[in-house]
Amino acid sequence: MRSKAYIAILIMLSAVACEQLYYVDTAEEVDERVKIARVNDIYLYDEDISSLVPRGNQSADSGMIVSKYVDSWVKKQLTIERASTELDFDEAKIERKILDYRYALMVHEFEMHYINQHLDKEISDEEVEKYYNEKFENFVLRQNILRCLFAQVPVEAPQIENFRKLIRTYPDSNLEEIQSYCYRFASKSSLETELWINFDEVISNTPLVNVQEKAGFLKNNSFVETSDEKYYYFIRVLDYKISNQIAPLAYIKDDIESILINKKKVELRKELEEEVYKVAKENNEFEIY
């Protein structure tokens, strides 16, 4: 009896041992993420690109965006792998640079937050004019500009003779009549008498596009009419400025306003830096040894 019991115990122990030998740890989670690309043992997953395209957007454009991103990711990872095998990087130095970049981003975000809260974007005409008078030498034209009336009118349009007289004799004629005619019949027009325009933009797509001596052309013509098979082109020159002359204030007003707003941003950054430093000093938050 004892021998039978002994044999039974051996069989039980053997069975347990076999179970342990072939045991599979089912507790380990299976990575169910959808793989998009692989470079050696590094994977790009579907969740990594989910923010590139709005959910449900399956357009050709979205597919192109994803394709470009994946291609860029693969090339970047390959370059990193190549760099790591061919260069002996100072890891500590790289980590310092990463931290510096991280801190720079944090400071930038904080500055933008502060600027957005405190920036006054209103720029008065007096501020613009003052800056222009002080810095006018910085506003030298790189192109010929003009104020003009311009109209491109189909050759079959009615009352061409009357319109020709109106636009040629302006400002002695009625601007509202010119505008009314252009609104009804012109294919293209520019009728803002105080607006400065690049001369090249005015004559583009007209028979005048190949004019060689543009400065001389503007000096010698107060009214120009030309045509092709489809259109008449009328230009009534009201004023002009030649390249290398100082730009008129009206032409660069928007640029000056942008400059003044940027100056305000610089001043706010400095103000923030000084405020942070002052508060920290008052609270004894730092020491310089």
pLDDT digits (tens, 9 = 90+) for 217-253: 999 999 999 999 999 999 999 999 999 999 999 999 9
Q: Across-strand partners of 239?
A: 147
Quote the pLDDT of residue 20.
45
Residue at a domain's end among 63, 88, 113:
88
Does 98 reside within a domain? no
CA distance 66 to 51: 10
225 and 152 both lie in a single domain:
yes
Question: Is pLDDT above 60 for 14?
Answer: no
User: Scanning the structure block, which residue is given the tokens 């302006």?
Assistant: 170
Does 223 reside within a domain? yes
Does 274 reside within a domain? no
pLDDT band at 91 (very low <50, low <70, confident <90, very high): confident
Handedness of CA 52, 56, 59, 60 (dihedral sign): positive
83 and 146 both lie in a single domain:
no
Q: Number of folded domains in the chain? A: 2
147 and 234 both lie in a single domain:
yes
Average pLDDT over residues 191-207: 95
Does 19 reside within a domain? no
Please give the model's pTM, rounded to 2 decimal places: 0.68
Higher pLDDT, 20 or 156: 156
Does 213 reside within a domain? yes
CA distance 175 to 151: 13
Residue at a domain's end among 62, 88, 114:
88
Question: Is pLDDT above 80 for 23?
Answer: no
Does 182 reside within a domain? yes
Encoded tokens for 5: 């019991």
Are 172 and 206 spatial neighbours (Cβ–Cβ below 8 Å)? Answer: no
Does 52 reside within a domain? yes
Q: Are strands 188-190 and 196-198 parallel, antiparallel or unpaired?
A: unpaired
CA distance 8 to 262: 90
- Could you list the residue range(s) of the whole structural domain that residue 50 is in? 35-88
148 and 234 both lie in a single domain:
yes
Question: Is pLDDT above 50 for 114?
Answer: yes
Handedness of CA 111, 113, 117, 123 (dihedral sign): positive
82 and 145 both lie in a single domain:
no
Quote the pLDDT of residue 155.
96
Residue at a domain's end among 57, 88, 119:
88
Quote the pLDDT of residue 6.
44
The answer for residues whose C-beta is within 8 angstroms of residue 194's C-beta and 6 or more apart is: 147, 250
Does 285 reside within a domain? no
59 and 146 both lie in a single domain:
no
Quote the pLDDT of residue 55.
60
User: Scanning the structure block, which residue is given the tokens 């007096």?
Assistant: 126
